[in-house]
């Protein structure tokens, strides 16, 4: 839910960009992100908004 964040750039990386992620806008500044893993291992998902880390 980014409704209070204002406009900007949301970036999502899975395993440093080695796994493709998909983002779908749900409306009202809400988004659904997903990815399909290639292997059954732990994955690192990193999100930034305007260059700032999203916790």
Which of 22, 16, 13, 18 lies closest to 38 in space, CA to CA? 18
- Under DSSP, the state recorded for 54 is P
pLDDT score at 10: 86
pLDDT score at 5: 80
More confident residue, 48 or 3: 48
pLDDT score at 15: 94
pLDDT digits (tens, 9 = 90+) for 10-49: 899 999 999 999 999 898 888 899 999 999 999 999 999 8
* Its pTM surpasses 0.75: no
> Which phi-psi region, left, alpha or beta, contains residue 28 (left: φ > 0; alpha: ψ -120 to 50)?
left
């Amino acid at each position: 839910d980014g409704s209070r964040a204002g406009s900007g750039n949301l970036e999502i990386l899975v395993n440093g960009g080695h796994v493709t992620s998909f983002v779908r806008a749900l409306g009202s500044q809400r988004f659904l992100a997903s990815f399909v893993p290639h292997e059954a291992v732990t994955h690192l998902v990193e999100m930034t908004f305007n260059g700032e880390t999203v916790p």
